[in-house]
Amino acid sequence: MNASSQPNSVAAASSDEARLVLEYRAILENASVAILFTRQSRVLHCNARFAEMFGWSSPEELQGQPGSVFWLSLEDYAEVGRNAGPVLAAGQSFEVERPMRRKDGSTFLCHIVAKAVNPAATTEGTIWIGEDVTDRRRAEETTRQLMLQQQAILENASVGILFTQEGSIRHCNARMEQMFGWGPGELIGQSARVFFASDEDYGLFGQEAGPVLLSGNQLDVEWANVRKDGSRLWCRILARAVVPGDATQGTIWTTEDVSARREAQLALMQAHEELENRVAERTAELAETNLRLQEEVAERQQAEERVMHLANHDALTGLPNRRLLIDRLGQALALAHRENHQVAVLFMDLDRFKTINDSLGHMTGDALLQNVARRLSETLREGDTVSRLGGDEFVVVLPSLDQPKAAEKVALKLVDALAPPIDLGGQELRVSASIGISLFPEDGCDTETLLRNADSAMYHAKDMGRNNYQFFMEQMNVAAAERLRLENDLHRALERQEFELHFQPRVSVANGLACGIEALIRWRHPERGLVLPGHFIPVAEDTGLIVPIGEWVINEACRQGTAWCAAGLPQIPVAVNLSPRQFRQSNLVDTVARAIERHGWPCNLLELEITEGVLMQQTSDTLKTLEALNRLGVGLAIDDFGTGYSSLSYLKRFPVDFLKIDQSFVRDIAVDPDDATIVTAIIGLAHSLGLTVVAEGVENASQLDFIRDAGCDEAQGYHIGRPMPAGQMAEWLLANRPSGPLRNA
């Protein structure tokens, strides 16, 4: 192949040929491909590139080398020769790619193209063009491997991967097919519309995805897609244009089935919502329960307060009761003790309340007490306590006094407060009170002593004529103790037969002759001597002893009357006083009937004196009892008329025979024109009702004259005769015996 190696041919060629040869040689020498020319299995020449490729120092070194030197083995060489022979002979190019050997024994992959110089005579030589393809093949293999790996990744990916171009599916992996329920290859060529429920939905998706992809950004959405069978699935879709900004170049989509997560999320949301609802419900329930509880607590508190109030207050007047009074007084004393001041206890009892209660009934009595309570409360200051102990007893505590005078002022204020008449349903009532005052510390240091001493002082005030106040004095306790002793003694007086009857005559005003006798009880006390009824009848009434005592009086009166008759004295009516308490006894009529029968005393000679109060207890029982007594034949008299609250017209209803005008009217009859008018009026009205009128307490002739002028029928009083023992009465009767029978039997 070297030009200098063939000087003969160069010399022989024409100058054109010689130039052509030179040109070919230049091409051969400078070609970048390896070129070899062989003849009869030996290297004729080759170019520099060939020598270099096979590791030989120069083309010259290769000249004459056998063709087998480039092959791995002789068998290899023979095989190639066998395969190439017919091809070359046919004038075609023989092409082969084989591992070949360099001079140093190393191998490389070589691509060979061979062509016979003259196919008709292949012995003239062959041209081999070689190319080292080791690197190219290796690169190709790497690429193939890479492709395979990528394919494997694609096929085994757990997300669906899709490649689309202009809306049409070009490629997708198995996961994508499975996820959407398509068979292998079914998706290819389809429109991406198949993943959507409707054209509208597909359009919506396009509106959302298009701008993102166009801008070259990644799309990341969750969408409700559909499978081949139309069932729904939630997908998370990531997408990016292959060439940013150019959607026509295709888009890669990665799709993940997030239905389970969505469902879980939904379930979680629902659970959360349900939980919140439950919490809200429970909260509401709790709030309601709480409200109910609060209401219950409030109710209970109110109930407790009511109970507390009831326990500590008087039901009728609402004033503190004894319990609360003692509590407050105790506190006041403790404070007074510490701060060194005085405390006053005012014990207050209404005067003649019993009469009002008996006369006008308990309803009126209660209304009156309420009225009094209000007046007392209004009179006192805030820190003071007024309480009702029961009945008509009130106690006032003045907790901090600087001097006793202050207590006196309050007592006066209380008396004044009660002075104006009280209007009860059109009826005007007047009440007054007697007040006893005890002071801490001089009259006592404890609640009990102070209350007891104020009570004693109150009794003293009553004795002093009522409607006044009295400070406690030590001797008052003596009086109170005496009253207690009296009560004890009274219990034994009946069995010890300490009672006796005195008698007071009643005369006809017209002729001055006896027309009746009133039996008045006396108690011959072993130590006190003769005790008058005013001292023990109230006690007997309070204790209920009046019932057996009264029964004794009726019997004794009948017995005495019979005894006088037996002694030859004229038969004269005997009057007996009945207390309201006796009248309420259901067996009163029996008691009277038995006494009469027992002593054989004529019924019409027994008279019973009752007070207005008895009549005013407007019960049907009252009327029944009076009618029964009337049927029995006994006379009935209204005693002390004018002190109660009855009216004359009221008397019409009752079978009453006598009316005894109270001595308080008779006393001043001659000097007090009011009393004179009252007495005259009573007499006139009583007569119009057919009643016999008796004036009580006639102490002098002028009184007698007055009542005579006023037309009064009978008179009783010291002027006629004082109450006297039975013996004296007999003598008086003998002296003043009436001429004829006093009353028709």
Task: Please tell me the distance from the alpha carbon of residue 726 to that of residue 503, in angstroms, as a whole number.
Answer: 6
Which of residues 182 and 641 has its CB atom nearest to ligand C2E in the complex? 641
- Minimum Å gap between C-beta 517 and ligand C2E is 12
692 lines the binding site for Mg ion (CB under 5 A) = no
- Minimum Å gap between C-beta 399 and Mg ion is 45
Q: Can the peptide bond before residue 441 be classed as cis, meaning omega within 30 degrees of 0? A: yes
- Minimum Å gap between C-beta 600 and Mg ion is 24
Position among 351, 358, 443, 640 found at the interface with ligand C2E (CB under 6 A): 640
Which of residues 461 and 521 has its CB atom nearest to ligand C2E in the complex? 521
Q: Which long-range contacts (CB under 8 A, 24 or more apart) does 27-30 make?
A: 28/1
Which 3 state secondary structure label does DSSP give 89? helix
| Separation of first and last alpha carbons in the chain | 202
What is the pattern of x (binds Mg ion, CB under 5 A) and - over residues 620-639? -------------------x
Q: Which stretch binds ligand C2E (CB under 6 A): 136-144, 277-285, 473-481, 531-539?
A: 531-539
Q: Which amino acid is at 148?
A: L
164 lines the binding site for ligand C2E (CB under 6 A) = no
Task: Please tell me the distance from the alpha carbon of residue 625 to that of residue 602, in angstroms, as a whole number.
Answer: 19
Closest to 325 measured CA to CA, from 388, 370, 262: 388
Residues 717-736 touching ligand C2E, rule: CB under 6 A, are 717-718, 723
Which of residues 454 and 557 has its CB atom nearest to Mg ion in the complex? 557
Which of residues 609 and 612 has its CB atom nearest to Mg ion in the complex? 609
- Minimum Å gap between C-beta 636 and ligand C2E is 14
What is the pattern of x (binds ligand C2E, CB under 6 A) and - over residues 370-409? ----------------------------------------
Partner interacting with residue 553 (select from Mg ion, ligand C2E, none; CB below 5-8 Å by kind): ligand C2E
- Minimum Å gap between C-beta 328 and Mg ion is 43
Give the CA count within 13 Å in the CB-facing half-sphere of 634. Answer: 30
Residues 84-103 touching ligand C2E, rule: CB under 6 A, are none
642 lines the binding site for ligand C2E (CB under 6 A) = no
639 lines the binding site for ligand C2E (CB under 6 A) = yes
Size of the site for ligand C2E (CB under 6 A): 24
Partner interacting with residue 537 (select from ligand C2E, Mg ion, none; CB below 5-8 Å by kind): ligand C2E
Residues 455-514 touching ligand C2E, rule: CB under 6 A, are 504
Task: Please tell me the distance from the alpha carbon of residue 395 to that of residue 386, in angstroms, as a whole number.
Answer: 6
- Minimum Å gap between C-beta 421 and Mg ion is 26
Task: Please tell me the distance from the alpha carbon of residue 247 to that of residue 490, in angstroms, as a whole number.
Answer: 131
Q: Which stretch binds ligand C2E (CB under 6 A): 26-34, 305-313, 377-385, 526-534?
A: 526-534
635 lines the binding site for ligand C2E (CB under 6 A) = no
640 lines the binding site for Mg ion (CB under 5 A) = yes
Q: Which stretch binds ligand C2E (CB under 6 A): 81-89, 363-371, 480-488, 527-535?
A: 527-535
What does the block give as tokens for 135?
């690197």
349 lines the binding site for Mg ion (CB under 5 A) = no
- Minimum Å gap between C-beta 299 and ligand C2E is 53
What is the pattern of x (binds ligand C2E, CB under 6 A) and - over residues 553-582? x-----------------------xxx---
Closest to 646 measured CA to CA, from 352, 431, 359: 359
What does the block give as tokens for 136?
């190219």
Q: Which stretch binds ligand C2E (CB under 6 A): 302-310, 390-398, 489-497, 690-698?
A: 690-698
Position among 577, 579, 582, 716 found at the interface with Mg ion (CB under 5 A): 577
What is the pattern of x (binds Mg ion, CB under 5 A) and - over residues 644-683? ----------------------------------------
357 lines the binding site for ligand C2E (CB under 6 A) = no
714 lines the binding site for Mg ion (CB under 5 A) = no
What does the block give as tokens for 1?
């192949």
606 lines the binding site for ligand C2E (CB under 6 A) = no
Task: Please tell me the distance from the alpha carbon of residue 333 to that of residue 339, in angstroms, as a whole number.
Answer: 10
Closest to 93 measured CA to CA, from 119, 115, 76, 123: 115
Q: Which stretch binds Mg ion (CB under 5 A): 5-13, 415-423, 604-612, 623-631?
A: 604-612
Give the CA count within 13 Å in the CB-facing half-sphere of 88. Answer: 22
612 lines the binding site for Mg ion (CB under 5 A) = no
β-bridge pairing 606-611 and 724-725: unpaired
R_g of the chain computed on alpha carbons: 74
Number of other CB atoms surrounding residue 156 within 10 Å: 10
314 lines the binding site for Mg ion (CB under 5 A) = no
Report residue 94: phi and psi, to 5°: -105, 130
What does the block give as tokens for 278?
């439950």
Number of other CB atoms surrounding residue 246 within 10 Å: 12
Contact of 198 with 171, CB cutoff 8 Å:
no
- Minimum Å gap between C-beta 615 and ligand C2E is 15
Which of residues 116 and 659 has its CB atom nearest to Mg ion in the complex? 659
The DSSP secondary structure of 273-331, one letter per residue, reads: HHHHHHHHHHHHHHHHHHHHHHHHHHHHHHHHHHHHHHHHB-TTT--B-HHHHHHHHHH
Which of residues 228 and 483 has its CB atom nearest to ligand C2E in the complex? 483
Write the CA distances from 478 to 465, 481, 534, 577, integer angstroms: 19, 5, 19, 31
The DSSP secondary structure of 116-153, one letter per residue, reads: ESSGGGGGG-EEEEEEE-HHHHHHHHHHHHHHHHHHHH
Q: Which amino acid is at 31?
A: A
Contact of 376 with 414, CB cutoff 8 Å:
yes
- Minimum Å gap between C-beta 717 and Mg ion is 10
For 257-292, b/e burial (b = at least 16 CB within 10 A) is bbbeebeeeeeeeeeeeeeeeeeeeeeeeeeeeeee
Position among 237, 360, 439, 537 found at the interface with ligand C2E (CB under 6 A): 537
- Minimum Å gap between C-beta 738 and Mg ion is 21
663 lines the binding site for ligand C2E (CB under 6 A) = yes
Position among 443, 455, 609, 713 found at the interface with Mg ion (CB under 5 A): 609
529 lines the binding site for ligand C2E (CB under 6 A) = no
Task: Please tell me the distance from the alpha carbon of residue 343 to that of residue 340, in angstroms, as a whole number.
Answer: 10
516 lines the binding site for ligand C2E (CB under 6 A) = no
Q: Which stretch binds Mg ion (CB under 5 A): 81-89, 372-380, 615-623, 690-698?
A: 690-698
191: which DSSP letter?
Answer: B
Number of other CB atoms surrounding residue 350 within 10 Å: 22
Position among 455, 551, 696, 714 found at the interface with ligand C2E (CB under 6 A): 696
- Minimum Å gap between C-beta 506 and Mg ion is 10
Angle CA 157–162–167, to nearest 5? 175
Task: Please tell me the distance from the alpha carbon of residue 354 to that of residue 366, in angstroms, as a whole number.
Answer: 12
Residues that bind ligand C2E (CB under 6 A): 504, 520-521, 532-534, 537, 550, 553, 577-579, 609, 639-640, 663, 696-699, 716-718, 723
Residues that bind Mg ion (CB under 5 A): 577, 609, 639-640, 696
